[in-house]
Amino acid sequence: MKIVLLGAPGSGKGTQAKLLSEEFNIPHISTGEILRTEIQLNSELGRQIDKIISKGNFMPDELMLEIIKKRIFMPDCEHGFILDGYPRSVDQAKTLSEITDIDYVIYLNINHQKVIDRLSNRWTCVNCQKSVIDANSKKCAFCGGELSKRTDDSTEVIKVRLNTYEKQTKPLISYYESSGKITEIDADQEIDKVFSDIKMAIN
């Protein structure tokens, strides 16, 4: 089963992808997490990536395609995968369609103000990468790891990301509508409810 999760920054793609990955035993492929891992390595490439994504801009298509091609043909993707953050534009979707067929596209719909609230309060565990909104304890509720803030989660950069999403990613909705594979989900509900709606869409 090959699933694409589509939605604005903060719509819950990562949260739902992790749940789906556990439920269906297929890997969660987050292009954002792959890029952030490279940044953590502090390689020359990582420093270049950091300059781009900390401003809320997109990485070049050619690099993203290289990353995706390498990842989706790994042995653990034999029974499918969940794509979180790719494709992010109609051009990327067209390129993807040349290398694989997608079964389901899930569009997580949420309004922008909600996204700003969520992302400006988001903390991510440096150990297990899970994200939490309530960081009162300053420790990860899942594994006890340290919590950190993403460099692109400042109010200013969140606005740039939303703007880029509107211009580049939103046209993907009508692109996928013509294939009949897309289902819109109300992403402004409890995490469990969003998850059960997604499962209903793919069953």
Q: Could you list the residues that contact ligand AP5 (CB under 6 A)? A: 7, 9-15, 30-32, 35, 53, 56-59, 64, 85-86, 88, 92, 118-119, 122, 131-133, 152, 161, 189-191, 194
Residue with Cβ nearer Mg ion (26 or 115): 115
Is the Cα dihedral 142, 144, 25, 4 positive or negative?
Answer: positive
Q: How far is the CB of 74 from Mg ion (least distance, A)?
A: 20
> Taking contact as CB under 5 A, which single stretch among the options 12-20, 118-126, 155-163, 189-197 is the one that binds Mg ion?
12-20
Q: How far is the CB of 17 from Mg ion (least distance, A)?
A: 8
Residue with Cβ nearer ligand AP5 (61 or 80): 61
Contact 172, 90 (CB under 8 A): yes
Site for Mg ion, residues 58 to 97, rule: CB under 5 A: none
Task: Return the biggest CA–CA distance within the chain.
Answer: 46
Q: What are phi and psi of 15, to 5 degrees?
A: -60, -50
Residues 6+ apart with CB under 8 A from 98: none
Q: How far is CA 12 from CA 44, 133, 179, in A?
A: 30, 12, 23
Catalytic residue among 13, 18, 36, 118: 13
Task: Return the one option of ligand AP5, Mg ion, none that residue 131 interacts with (CB less than 5 to 8 A, by type).
Answer: ligand AP5
- Residue from 7, 12, 14, 56 that binds Mg ion (CB under 5 A)? 14
Task: Return the one option of ligand AP5, Mg ion, none that residue 27 interacts with (CB less than 5 to 8 A, by type).
Answer: none
Catalytic residue among 139, 150, 159, 181: 150
Residue type present at position 92? Q
Residue with tokens 């803030």: 149
Q: Which of 53, 182, 43 is nearest to 107 (CA)?
A: 182
Q: Which token pair is 181?
A: 């594979």
Q: How far is the CB of 37 from Mg ion (least distance, A)?
A: 13
- Strand extents, DSSP E, the chain: 2-7, 28-30, 81-84, 104-109, 123-125, 131-132, 147-148, 182-186
- Asked if 88 is an active-site residue, the reply is yes
**Residues with catalytic roles:** 13, 88, 122, 150, 161
Interacting residues toward Mg ion by CB under 5 A: 14
